[in-house]
Amino acid sequence: MHEVDREVAFEIRGALAPIANGLEILRLSASDDSASENVIDMMQRQMDRLIDLLNTRGSADGCRLASTELPDDVPHQTYS
């Protein structure tokens, strides 16, 4: 990925972080209002489009990282 693209991708990811949080907060605190639900779903879809774009573009240069990638188990041996 070109250096400028990389910087733009970094900034877009940073801006999407509070938007993703905000959508979840709205979901958890919104009343049962179908209009609000539809708008929240719409915003989520559009945000997912942007994330897909970032992940797909990155993959061409071998730097894709799924934001959902999880290890098999959370390291917890220090807590037991």
Partner 1 sequence: MSFVLESNVSAPKKELPPLRVLVVEDEPDTASSTAILLGLWGHDARIAEDGEAALVAVKEDCPDVVLLDMGLPGIGGWQIVSALKDCSEAKKPLVIAITGHAGATARKRSQEAGVDLHLAKPVEPETLRDVLGRLRTVIGG
Length of the chain equals: 80
Size of the site for partner 1 (CB under 8 A): 40
Site mask, partner 1, residues 6-35, x = CB under 8 A?
x--xxx-xx-xxxxxxxxxx--xx------
Determine, following the binding rule CB under 8 A, whether residue 60 of this chain makes contact with partner 1.
Answer: no
- State both tokens at 71: 């290890």
Alpha-carbon distances of 22 from 8, 43, 52, 57, 75, rounded to whole Å:
22, 11, 19, 25, 28
User: Is residue 18 within 8 Å of residue 47, measured between CB atoms?
Assistant: no
Least distance to partner 1, CB of residue 59, Å:
10
Question: Where do contacts with partner 1 occur on this chain (CB under 8 A)?
Answer: 6, 9-11, 13-14, 16-25, 28-29, 47, 51, 54-55, 58, 62-71, 73-76, 78-80
